[in-house]
């Protein structure tokens, strides 16, 4: 069971980080603008932060696939990043700012509790991956179980990446 959890966690984190980093690399000004609007880093550090975040996302997404102990550090880095992202979003909500997070590219959807929830789910996935990566023997992978784990990872990744679309869809339905 641990091997399937490890596979699923690696896939979800790598996919989420890849899409997120690619969006930030493709539109760095939009991400820097979102950081400025969130007012979570001093203005002079906005550019450096906007450049560092996608690099850290790529690093974490790759590290989770590395052998021990690097994978363990990849899950730790992932967890720390998601905890920080959640804290930033909570700060934005508490201050009543009407900004989008631009986590997966430019978006007109303002930060909401759904975005915080997404990061907490990802924090949980990183924690589960960390636990699985430190297991003495994660066990082997059977073909059927691996396919199921991959399908779960694909479905979870799509839902996580589509948070803005889902938030917009369900708020428009009200």
What are the structural domain ranges in the chain?
A: 2-172
Give 138's pLDDT tier (boundaries 50, 70, 90): low
Give the predicted TM-score (pTM) of the model: 0.91
pLDDT in tens, 99-120: 988 888 777 788 999 999 999 9
Write the burial class of residue 166 (CB in 10 Å: 0-12 exposed, 13-18 middle, 19+ buried). middle
CA distance 118 to 19: 15
pLDDT exceeding 70 applies to what percent of the chain? 98
First CA to last CA distance, the chain: 41
């Amino acid at each position: 069971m641990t091997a399937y959890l490890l596979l699923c966690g690696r896939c979800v984190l790598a996919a989420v980080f890849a899409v997120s980093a690619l969006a930030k690399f493709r539109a760095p000004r939009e991400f820097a603008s979102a950081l400025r609007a969130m007012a979570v880093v001093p203005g002079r550090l906005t550019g450096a932060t906007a450049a560092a975040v996608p690099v850290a996302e790529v690093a974490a997404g790759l590290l989770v696939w590395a052998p021990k102990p690097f994978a363990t550090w990849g899950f730790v880095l992932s967890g720390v990043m998601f905890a920080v992202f959640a804290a930033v979003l909570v700060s934005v909500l508490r201050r009543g700012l009407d900004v989008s997070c631009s986590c997966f590219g430019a978006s007109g959807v303002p930060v909401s509790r759904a975005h915080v929830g997404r990061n907490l789910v990802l924090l949980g996935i990183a924690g589960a991956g960390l636990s699985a990566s430190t297991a003495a023997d994660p066990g082997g992978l059977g073909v059927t179980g691996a396919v199921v784990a991959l399908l779960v990872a694909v479905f979870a990744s799509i839902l996580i990446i589509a948070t803005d679309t889902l938030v917009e869809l369900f708020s428009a339905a009200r």
